[in-house]
Structure 1
Amino acid sequence: MRAPAFLALDLVLVVVFAAIGRRSHAEEGALLAVLGTAWPFLVGALVGWGVAIAARLSPTTLRGGLPIWLCTVAVGMLLRAVTGAGTAFSFVLVATTALALFLLLPRLVAQRSGRRADA
């Protein structure tokens, strides 16, 4: 996959993360409500992409995905705190874990499948 496809996938998966979270708390699932929950993490993901590119890391690799994941969580939580949204410790743990799976697993799969194709 190329970088634009990975960027789109990352943003979609962040929205999916927000939708799953809203659903698990029996909150409305309307698109605007989901985007209202997702926006801090979407901003964080874009910051992470900027950090990865500035550090000359390929954002499509597992190594390049690390700052994307960390910024998604850190910036997302910071923006939620600043806007008065919840940042309970349990939410931080769940978000950190879920976003690691959503943002790092596709890169791991792509790297592994790329190695197999080369072999």
Structure 2
Amino acid sequence: MWLVVDLLLVGVFAVVGRLSHHGTLTAGGWWTTAWPFLVGTLVAWAALAVARRPPAAPTSGVVVWLGALVVGMLLRQASGQGTATAFVVVATLVLGALLVLPRVGARARR
């Protein structure tokens, strides 16, 4: 379940980013923005699987956040997309909130 949630939230991150900077949303535009972060999310999930970490744990959310962010930014750079400092800061904060806080909330409800 958490894998789907993470991928959806990263997708939402890309939607909001596209709409806030371009004013419109197309499937191609969304994909251009989303794919590096989606790959980063999947890389982080692979690391969690290898380490046998419980995906619902807040610390696992941190792993997914950092994977999505770091791998995403490296892939953006490698593919000629922007990695301006302001974008990195905003992506760090927004992805952190989207990928860690739901796990903290789920833990608090238990």
Tell me whether the two structures share a fold, i.e. TM-score over 0.5: yes
Unmatched runs of 5 consecutive residues or more in structure 1: 115-119
TM-score (norm 2): 0.94
Match of 1:28 among 14, 24, 49: 24
Q: Say if 1:52 and 1:65, in contact at 8 Å, map to a contact too.
A: no
The equivalent of 1:18 in structure 2 is 14
SS at match of 2:56: coil
SS at match of 2:98: helix
Deviation, structure 1 residue 33: 1.6
Match of 2:90 among 94, 106, 110: 94
Identity of aligned residues (%): 45
TM-score (norm 1): 0.88
Greater CA radius of gyration, 1 or 2? Answer: 1
Deviation, structure 1 residue 27: 4.2
Q: Is residue 50 of structure 1 aligned with residue 42 of structure 2?
A: no
- Aligned partners of 1:89, 1:22: CA distance in 2, in Å? 17
Give the aligned residue type for 2:86: S
SS at match of 1:87: coil
Unmatched runs of 5 consecutive residues or more in structure 2: none
Please provide the CA RMSD for this pair: 1.0
Moved more, 47-56 or 90-99: 47-56
Runs of 4+ residues deviating >6 angstroms: none
Deviation, structure 1 residue 99: 0.2
- Aligned partners of 1:78, 1:71: CA distance in 2, in Å? 10
Deviation, structure 1 residue 55: 1.9
Give the aligned residue type for 1:50: A
**Total equivalences in the alignment:** 110
Deviation, structure 1 residue 63: 1.1
Deviation, structure 1 residue 60: 1.4
